Structure 1
């Protein structure tokens, strides 16, 4: 996975991708971070990780987006749920051609709200719209149905396609901006300074170290 290690950022936001296996979480992440899809990518095992520095709108600084891609299989639940902690944003992803993945979105949403930060901003994402654009009969989840569900649960909503890159950048960038606005509003007049201090405070707690890096630090082969 890509790890943009540049230290030239003011804010650090941890966001998590959740949803059933096969809905396209990893493809969305690769498209956003690398600008292309993974090749011959098997299902995610446990958790994968990537970072990207993004400039916020209106000269509000640069945020380092720390993005955790979690496995959707039930057997990895204990591993993945541990990584929800300190998340301030989440994408709950479903497949617009599979109604069961949309029904399960409520469970994913509830798990995020139980384990992530209280102010965690959640966006519901209906992926794989490229398939229904080619063949509308494949759609099992109507846009209006998903939008009503998102509104009722105080979630943002967007439909995307990792294959065609439809709305992928928008859904991630908008989520980062929403997180900034929520945290800034909570902090009050001194929000920017406090937000930067908070990001620095949690940097070491949430910064990812690869297994290879851990071995080098310990002197192990």
Structure 2
């Protein structure tokens, strides 16, 4: 299991939102590159970056901050937010992003996902952000009539590397992951699924290491890391111990 520390970017700074509400942003670090370096130094092996402004604008808005992060880290990073066309995907991959996360465009323009997955094998993920099981788009500002499982199934044969499933109702609230809904999606798909939204403590990490969660690729953690509820060393030690041969 991979534990992905999240860097959410708003106005060039690291923030955390509550249920995707841009008006409820807490700034945790004015220097995204320094935050990324800190996560790498703590032992994390893969970074999750979101351009929040880009998700609303439909185009990259925090490019300078993302580029500063990429210049300072040696671990891979996946990036989402404002990715709506092949030129943007190609540009970010060329600048060192390891994997691109496509969210809104996966609903509005599914062929983009298919073309990108063919052109960049293993480097395209789909972000499924759901409220009450229905997919939300445009930075979570709009809720569609499309069920999360239905969207995931549309890309079963597309060569997508992963699906990142976020329960919006839990995101930023530290109430724990929606393991039940995440596992239901994982069981319905052959694509690896990453859990997101609400990871609150070491108990969530322990839950993800149970046998029934073995199918999950990992989980994203944000606010719990920033406010100290989740100790990085303890969490990563648990994961390493679980991976060690018996």
| TM-score bucket of the superposed structures, by smaller chain | 0.3 to 0.5
The structure with the largest strand share of the pair is: 2
The structure with the largest helix share of the pair is: 1
Instruction: Give TM-score scaled by structure 1 length.
Output: 0.40
Q: Which has the higher contact order (CA 8 A, sep 6+)?
A: 1
Instruction: Give TM-score scaled by structure 2 length.
Output: 0.37
